[in-house]
Amino acid sequence: MMAARRQRHFLAIADLSIDELRDLLEFALELKRRWAAGEQDKPLKGRILAMVFERPSLRTRVSFEVGMEHLGGHAMYLAPQEVELGRRESVPDVARVLSRYVDAIMLRTGAHERVTELARHATVPVINGLSAAEHPCQALADMLTIREHRGALAGLRLAYVGDGNNVCASLTLAAARLGVKLTVATPPGYEPPESVVASAAETARRTGGSVDVVHDPRAAVRGADVVYTDVWTSMGQEHESADRRAAFAGFQVNAALMRSAGDAVVMHCLPAHRGEEITDDVIESPSSIVFDQAENRLHAQKAVLCRLLA
């Protein structure tokens, strides 16, 4: 009898080696080229993705549904009230049942332990569509967008201004793997987790990148090729919104901050709280690549789906 093959999941950036991450980005570019040319490859014909949502979404739902359609498969949306993970039915039972019906599961949730528990009990690939710890699909789209607009990633200077949240964590880990020189600027107390920074710094020493965490946004963006921001208050933190607005008051990405950066492009993973972490004139400026970034969720995730299922 053949030994069982270890099931492959995509729960965190660390699930990809440096070479796998580079290869995945190039594959996503190729898939985007084929899509733009009207080529109708259907490598996932007959495959089904279950999308389990515990948190609301626009880009995650639409990009996965459209991606599966492009690839010849089908995506099934399961709303929070339909599954009620851990309440109506245990996470292990949901994992085992869905594994009998579908070819992969995407979960968008809160606690990262929820997605890792689902993966432990599933016999099909599990994809992290967002958790409190990481947003790896977003980081793939981010790096794909920078690759398109700035060319080679190694040595590129990226400034992240804002909260050290799940998006920042995945961005930090991906940037380190690709040799990017990243500076993260947050108010004191809002830095990305020390474990993330330490892991990224160790990787960056091998790739020629770097990771610095500072508390001065102007110093962070000086000489940057890319300036990236995200909301100051994420889902589930609404009770902190007043305190966070006060803490982040000097961290808005506006025209004055962009003048400090020089000839940088601007990114935001959306949804944006315009007038809070970023101003209208910046997000609508010629330097904004925000909506290319949103589109690239589709192409990056198609690459992930193909690698896990094709």
pLDDT for position 196: 98
Find the catalytic residue in 9, 138, 163, 225. Answer: 138
Output the average pLDDT for the chain: 95
pLDDT for position 4: 39
pLDDT tens digits for range 184-195 = 999 999 999 999
Find the catalytic residue in 22, 59, 70, 297. Answer: 297
pLDDT for position 88: 86
The H-or-E segment that residue 229 falls in is strand 226-229
Q: Find out whether 142 and 166 touch, Cβ atoms under 8 Å.
A: no
Residues forming CATH 3.40.50.1370 domain(s) in the chain: 13-135+296-309, 138-293
Half-sphere exposure (Cβ direction) of 98: Cα atoms closer than 13 Å? 30
Q: Is 137 a catalytic residue?
A: no
pLDDT at 3 over 80: no
For 195, other C-beta atoms within 10 Å of its C-beta total 10
pLDDT for position 238: 86
Tell how far CA 278 is from the center of its chain: 19
Q: Is 216 a catalytic residue?
A: no
Q: For domain 13-135+296-309, is the CATH number 3.40.50.1370?
A: yes
Q: Is 269 a catalytic residue?
A: yes
The larger pLDDT score, comparing residue 103 to residue 88, is at 103
pLDDT tens digits for range 37-60 = 999 889 999 999 999 999 989 999
Find the catalytic residue in 244, 269, 299, 301. Answer: 269
pLDDT for position 2: 33
Length of the chain: 310
Question: For the chain, first and last CA: distance in Å?
Answer: 24
Confidence of residue 108 (pLDDT cuts 50, 70, 90): very high
The 3-state DSSP class for residue 56 equals coil
Confidence of residue 6 (pLDDT cuts 50, 70, 90): low
Name the fold adopted by 138-293. Rossmann fold (3.40.50)
pLDDT at 239 over 90: no
Phi-psi bin for 307: left (phi > 0), alpha (psi -120 to 50), beta?
alpha
pLDDT at 87 over 90: no
What is the pLDDT averaged over residues 221-237? 93
Find the catalytic residue in 70, 108, 114, 157. Answer: 108
Q: Is 138 a catalytic residue?
A: yes
Half-sphere exposure (Cβ direction) of 41: Cα atoms closer than 13 Å? 15
Q: Find out whether 209 and 176 touch, Cβ atoms under 8 Å.
A: yes
pLDDT at 1 over 50: no
- Across-strand partners of 53? 108
pLDDT for position 234: 86
pLDDT at 147 over 90: yes
Look at residues 192, 149, 146, 152 and name the one whose alpha carbon lies nearest to residue 169: 192
Q: Is 230 a catalytic residue?
A: yes
> What's the burial of 109, exposed, middle or buried (CB within 10 Å: 0-12/13-18/19+)?
buried
Q: What percent of the chain has pLDDT over 70?
A: 98
Please report where in the chains the tokens 């332990």 appear, as a residue: 113
Q: Is 252 a catalytic residue?
A: no
Tell how far CA 68 is from the center of its chain: 18
pLDDT tens digits for range 262-277 = 899 999 999 999 999 9
Rounded Cα distance, 118 and 61, in Å: 19
Find the catalytic residue in 135, 157, 268, 299. Answer: 135
